[in-house]
Amino acid sequence: MAITLRLETAPVEHPSLAAVGRALRDRRFLAGLGLMVLASLLFGILGVLCPLRLSAAGWGAAAIGGIWLTGAGSKR
């Protein structure tokens, strides 16, 4: 903590609309943005459709919750 207190503060940056326009014309930026959107959509779909499918298969709320808790606990 003492070392971080000795660091100089970064200069304040003020974003402009021109910078946003340049970013939106950059293919690498758009590709990264697209990958983030794709991952978000896939995980969102997984988070909604899997419990619905398990419910349709006759699983109860406690069993579905247990699966999600087990899955969350098994991540490393």
- Is 67 in contact with 54 (CB distance < 8 Å)? yes
Residue-by-residue pLDDT tens, the chain, 76 positions: 888 888 888 889 888 999 999 999 999 999 999 999 999 999 999 889 999 999 999 999 999 999 989 988 876 6
State which residues form the domain around 24. Answer: 19-73
Indicate the length of the chain as a whole number. Answer: 76
Domain count, the chain: 1
pTM exceeds 0.85, yes or no: no
Q: How far apart are CA 66 and CA 15, in angstroms?
A: 45
Q: Is residue 36 in a domain?
A: yes
pLDDT at 59: 95
Q: How far apart are CA 35 and CA 22, in angstroms?
A: 19
Q: Is residue 45 in a domain?
A: yes
Q: Is residue 2 in a domain?
A: no
Q: Is residue 57 in a domain?
A: yes
| DSSP 8-state code for residue 12 | P
